[in-house]
Structure 1
Amino acid sequence: MKIRRHLLLAVATSLALIGLAVPASRPAYAASLTEVTSFGSNPGGMRMHIYVPDTRPANPPIVVAMHGCGGSGPGFYSSSEFASLADRYGYIVIYPSAMQEAGFGKCFDTWSAAAKQRNGGSDPVSIASMVAYAGRQYGGDQNRVYATGSSSGGMMTQHMLALYPDLFKAGAAFMGVPFNCFANAADYPPGGQCTGGNMNRTPQQWGDAVRQASASYTGARPRVQLWHGTNDTLVPYSLLQESIEQWTNVFGLSQTPSSSDTPQANWNRRRYADATGTVQVEAYSIQGAGHSLPSAGMAAAALAFFGLTTPPVTPPVTPPVTPPTSPPVTPPSNPPSTPPATGACRVTDTISAWNTGLTANITITNTGATAVNGWSLVFTLPGGQAITSGWNATYSPATGQVTARNVGHNAAVAPGGSVTVGFQATHTGNTAAPASFTLNGSPCTVA
Structure 2
Amino acid sequence: MPSRRRVRLAALVSGVLTLAATALGGCAGPGGDGRDRAAEARVGTPTTGATPASPATAGPPGARQASAALPGQVRLASGREYVLPRPAPARLGARRPLLLVLHSFGGTWRRMEHLGQFQERAARRGYVVAYGIGARRSWDAAGCCGWSNAHRAKDVEYLTDVVADVRRRVPGIDPRRIYLTGFSNGAMMTLHALCERPRLFAAGVGVAGALVGRCRGGAPIHYLEIHGTSDAVVPYDGGRTDWLHATFPPVSDLPGTIADRAPGSVVKIRSHPCGHVWPVGGRCHLDAAAIGWEFLRRYALPSPPHHAYRTGTGR
Q: Alignment partner of 1:243: what SS?
A: helix
Residues of 2 paired with 1:86 and 1:308: CA distance? 16
Question: Are 1:48 and 2:82 matched, yes or no?
Answer: yes
Residues of 2 paired with 1:84 and 1:157: CA distance? 22
Decide which of 236, 255, 270 is 1:244's aligned counterpart: 255
Offset, 1:128: 1.3
Q: Which residue of the partner structure matches residue 39 of structure 2?
A: none
Q: Which residue of the partner structure matches residue 74 of structure 2?
A: 37
Structure number with higher relative contact order (C-alpha < 8 Å, ≥ 6 residues apart): 2
Decide which of 128, 142, 162 is 2:175's aligned counterpart: 142
Q: Which residue of the partner structure matches residue 156 of structure 2?
A: 124
Amino acid at match of 1:249: D
Q: Which residue of the partner structure matches residue 134 of structure 2?
A: 98
Gaps (5+ residues) in structure 1? 7-28, 101-105, 181-208, 253-273, 310-447
Residues of 2 paired with 1:230 and 1:5: CA distance? 22
Q: Check whether the contact 2:98–2:129 (CA below 8 A) recurs between aligned residues.
A: yes
Offset, 1:151: 0.5
Decide which of 300, 306, 314 is 2:290's aligned counterpart: 300
Q: Alignment partner of 1:232: what SS?
A: coil
Residues of 2 paired with 1:155 and 1:59: CA distance? 28
Q: Which residue of the partner structure matches residue 380 of structure 1?
A: none
Q: Alignment partner of 1:142: what SS?
A: strand
Percent of aligned positions that are identical: 26
Amino acid at match of 1:304: E
Q: Check whether the contact 1:49–1:74 (CA below 8 A) recurs between aligned residues.
A: no
Question: Are 1:157 and 2:147 matched, yes or no?
Answer: no
Q: Which residue of the partner structure matches residue 282 of structure 1?
A: 268
Residues of 2 paired with 1:39 and 1:174: CA distance? 27
Amino acid at match of 1:98: G
Change (3 A) 1:154 1:4: closer
Offset, 1:74: 1.8
Amino acid at match of 1:248: A
Question: Are 1:110 and 2:144 matched, yes or no?
Answer: no
Change (3 A) 1:92 1:161: same
Residues of 1 paired with 2:104 and 2:52: CA distance? 16
Offset, 1:165: 0.8
**CA deviations over 1:289-316 (Å, ceiling 9, x no partner):** 111124243212111111179xxxxxxx
Change (3 A) 1:56 1:222: farther
TM-score (norm 1): 0.43
Decide which of 108, 111, 115 is 1:79's aligned counterpart: 115
Change (3 A) 1:251 1:164: closer
Amino acid at match of 1:149: G
Amino acid at match of 2:174: D
TM-score (norm 2): 0.60
Q: Alignment partner of 2:140: what SS?
A: coil
**CA deviations over 1:397-434 (Å, ceiling 9, x no partner):** xxxxxxxxxxxxxxxxxxxxxxxxxxxxxxxxxxxxxx
Q: Check whether the contact 1:226–1:282 (CA below 8 A) recurs between aligned residues.
A: yes
Residues of 1 paired with 2:168 and 2:155: CA distance? 20
Change (3 A) 1:234 1:133: same
Q: Check whether the contact 1:41–1:125 (CA below 8 A) recurs between aligned residues.
A: no
Q: Alignment partner of 1:143: what SS?
A: strand
Q: Which residue of the partner structure matches residue 229 of structure 2?
A: 230
**CA deviations over 1:246-268 (Å, ceiling 9, x no partner):** 2233344xxxxxxxxxxxxxxxx
Task: Tell me the matched-pair count.
Answer: 215
Offset, 1:284: 0.6
Residues of 2 paired with 1:162 and 1:65: CA distance? 17
**Higher strand fraction (1 or 2):** 1
Q: Alignment partner of 1:78: what SS?
A: helix
Amino acid at match of 1:36: Q
